[in-house]
Amino acid sequence: MIVENKVAIITGASSGFGKALAERLVGKGAKVILADIDIKDGERLATELNYNKDVKVAYFLKCDVTNYAEQKALFDAAEKHFGRVDIVINNAGIAERQPLWEDQAGFWKKIIDIDLSAVVEGTRLGLQYAQKHGQGGVIINTASLAGLYPQALTPAYSAAKFGVVGLTRSLKEYGNQVGVRVNAVAPSFADTKIIAPIRDAVQKIAPLVSVDMVIDAFMLLIEDDSFSGDVARITPQYGISVMGRSTGSKDKKAKL
């Protein structure tokens, strides 16, 4: 896929991976619909991306991904402003704020709602809208290393991300049939807002992966049409590997 003039929807776009990916995509000529509950940072990012452009390349919409009507509005906005949907990034996510056994308020349910259920709906909408114009497309779901290996610090988050990996891999055959590739990234912990409550504990276990490397993995899965139903693992020790397949770059070879 050549991303120039392609249309992307990104949830969780106001910061972290979503923000960095939006900047990378627009830098390569794509157009983006930015979605987040953080209105201030989302609108600021849209303004920055549109700066010095003859026409708008970015629109921000407030979106709670657990509100499926608001998710659908993103796809309608993409069609209204840009005419189609080519790339869907289901990236919004949260993690535990306290140990599961101390979670009397049931915050773990919100983790499942945002990190798994909303990703299922975003994937469903992505498959539907990307097929409408007969040009195919690609959906990338943000999973985690916690979706490949159990994580004692964040068990509910890990359960949700295991679900994202299962969803992604299960859609390989259907995605190939309809021309819409579904892939996922599975980074180890990076220095983004999501790990703020447990940053100190995480850094005692392992170094953080760079945001730039995670965005490299997103772009690999978007631009390389050979990846479908695949999951890219990203770690600071071994770089990027796609479920046992070398990416072809010496500094990104690793086995899973």
The catalytic residue among 51, 68, 149, 157 is: 157
Q: What is the C-alpha to C-alpha distance for residues 215 and 118, in angstroms, rounded to an integer? A: 21
Three-state secondary structure of 73-133: HHHHHHHHHHCCCCEEEECCCCCCCCCHHHCCCCHHHHHHHHHHHHHHHHHHHHHHHHHCC
Q: What is the C-alpha to C-alpha distance for residues 58 and 176, in angstroms, rounded to an integer? A: 29
| CA torsion through residues 77, 78, 81, 83, sign | negative
What burial letters (b/e) apply to 79-95, b meaning 16+ CB within 10 Å? eeebebbbbbbbbbbbb
Q: What is the C-alpha to C-alpha distance for residues 168 and 181, in angstroms, rounded to an integer? A: 9
Task: Pick the closest to residue 182 from 124, 229, 242, 127 (CA basis).
Answer: 229
Number of H helices, E strands in the chain: 9, 8
Active site residue 157: yes
* Residues annotated as part of the active site: 157
